[in-house]
Amino acid sequence: MKILTGKQFMEENSQSQRKTQRDEQLDQLVLEIIDQVRVKKDESLRAYTEQYDGVKVDDVVVSAAEFTEARELVSPDFIDALHQAQENIQSFHENQTEKSWFMNEKDGILLGQKVSPLESVGIYVPGGKAAYPSTVLMNVIPAKLAGVPTIAISTPPQLDGKINPHVLVAAEIAGVTRVYKAGGAQAIAALAYGTESVEKVVKIVGPGNAFVACAKKWVFGDVAIDMIAGPSEICVVADDTAIPRFAAADLLSQAEHDERAIALCITTSESFANALQAEIQTQIKTLERRAIIEQSIQGQGRIILVDSLTEATELVNQLAPEHLQLMVDKPFEEMLSIKNAGAIFLGNYSPEALGDYVAGPNHTLPTSGTATFSSPLGVYDFIKRSSIIQYSKQALDQVAKDIMTLANAEGLTAHANSIKKRRGE
């Protein structure tokens, strides 16, 4: 893992370089997949599943028998852990629920906001390099709390044509029994436009690879999406109170997601930087997903030396990382200076893996610098708000002149006319 100064790092890896670049070849391929699924529906869905996943699928929808089989294939410890995670995730997200509200400050005027759940949501759960039952909980639970009546999951099948049993059990525990055997851009197209087997939804959420992200970009507008996610990121800020073996383990844990994952450490201590570098080399040799981790660390992993925590904070706010770990003497105080980060973990005993599974806050987070303007997935992503306006005749009369003045100033005389008619003019 290279050690650079803050200046060297910014020259090498500027914010503009971190942004996902337009890939015209990928766009063309994904648009072709979307068009084919829209026209040929299940036929294309099955064909692309065979092409990209190497699996022939007869029935796109997971059967009740497959759910039963999945329960028999997972351990009691796994189920217990899922229930614990579910409890924590639900407890946290219950604080995000919104209610309709109304105000009547003046006679004859009622104003308010009506909060309604989305009618249907499709959740994409990645497969391929790993299975993600935690992603099921993180996406389904806030949607349930919002009151979404129809929730479906789409996820790539295994080579045996079945869905990973851990994912199916998580879906059942979370309260979802409609699961589709489809991955990639074809799954996003099916959720966006519907097929014989897949019901169209109004919003698609969940992480995925470049094909999934690209497809979400192109279906946006016909359906809503949560975000266009890039590679996973972790940034550790460390002073001389940080423990090198902990920081190394945390950086490596994020690097195992994907060869393009980004693992950074910003530190004020040169001795810590050297110890961290050595620790990474030691630990990486023992890890099961070593090949993926090594590509990630060699390609994007960096240790960045800065002169002060103030400089570290400034750099963090420029990077706007998905996951930020403050492994410093006074993490809460430093956190107050952070403006841009998806999730912030405080201290030596709050690893990113804690947030991935059981802490409670959502692990679907903004990437690629988008934490400058966006937030973690939450209950608020599964609701919509309608404004409520009611005026009596007397209340309307009091503001009629102002409405007509503004409407005429904009040249919208028919607007002014709608007021005149109510005044008998």
Q: What is the pLDDT of residue 19?
A: 46
Structure confidence at residue 16 as a pLDDT band (50, 70, 90): very low
Contacts of 285 (CB under 8 A, 6+ apart): none
Please check whether residue 368 lies inside any domain of the structure. no
**How far does CA 356 lie from the centroid of its chain?**
12
Residue ending a domain, choose from 360, 383, 409: 360
Q: Which of 93, 166, 257, 323 is catalytic?
A: 323
Reference 296, options 257, 267, 342; nearest CA is 257
My answer on whether 344 and 207 are in the same domain is no
Please check whether residue 373 lies inside any domain of the structure. no
My answer on whether 286 and 171 are in the same domain is no
My answer on whether 252 and 164 are in the same domain is no
Please write the tens of the pLDDT for every residue from 67-114: 999 999 999 999 999 999 999 999 999 999 999 999 997 889 999 999
Query: Rounded mean pLDDT of the chain?
Result: 95
Under a CB-based contact definition with an 8 Å cutoff, are residues 256 and 295 in contact?
no
Ranges of H-type helices in 258-322: 270-284, 290-300, 309-319
Under a CB-based contact definition with an 8 Å cutoff, are residues 334 and 241 in contact?
no
Number of C-beta neighbours around residue 11 at 10 A: 10
Please check whether residue 382 lies inside any domain of the structure. no
Please check whether residue 366 lies inside any domain of the structure. no
Average pLDDT of 290-312? 96
Q: What is the pLDDT of residue 13?
A: 72
Average pLDDT of 20-28? 76
E strand or H helix at 413: helix 413-422
Please check whether residue 191 lies inside any domain of the structure. yes
Share of the chain above pLDDT 90, in %: 92
Average pLDDT of 5-33? 78
Residue 401 has pLDDT above 70, yes or no: yes
Please check whether residue 37 lies inside any domain of the structure. yes
State the residue range of the domain holding 409.
392-422
Number of C-beta neighbours around residue 112 at 10 A: 15
Please write the tens of the pLDDT for every residue from 140-186: 999 999 999 999 999 999 999 999 999 999 999 999 989 999 999 99
My answer on whether 269 and 352 are in the same domain is yes
To the query of whether residue 12 is one of the catalytic residues in this protein, the response is no
To the query of whether residue 83 is one of the catalytic residues in this protein, the response is no
E strand or H helix at 4: strand 2-5
Contacts of 28 (CB under 8 A, 6+ apart): none
Distance between CA atoms of residues 21 and 23, nearest Å: 6
Reference 159, options 55, 292, 271; nearest CA is 55
Pairing of strands 179-181, 2-5: unpaired
Q: Which of 259, 279, 322, 352 is catalytic?
A: 322
Structure confidence at residue 64 as a pLDDT band (50, 70, 90): very high
* Domain harbouring 50, CATH code: 3.40.50.1980
Residue ending a domain, choose from 198, 225, 252: 225
My answer on whether 16 and 30 are in the same domain is no
Please check whether residue 203 lies inside any domain of the structure. yes
Under a CB-based contact definition with an 8 Å cutoff, are residues 175 and 147 in contact?
no
DSSP line for 83-140: HHHHHHHHHHHGGG----EEE--STTEEEEEEEEE-SEEEEE---SS---HHHHHHHH
- Give the total number of structural domains in the chain: 3
My answer on whether 58 and 181 are in the same domain is yes
Structure confidence at residue 2 as a pLDDT band (50, 70, 90): very high
Ranges of H-type helices in 175-231: 184-193, 210-219
Structure confidence at residue 199 as a pLDDT band (50, 70, 90): very high
Beta bridge partner(s), residue 207: none
Q: Which token pair is 152?
A: 């479906």
Q: What is the pLDDT of residue 106?
A: 87
My answer on whether 55 and 157 are in the same domain is yes
Question: Any idea which residue has 């979400």 for tokens?
Answer: 216
E strand or H helix at 343: strand 343-346
Pairing of strands 109-117, 383-391: antiparallel
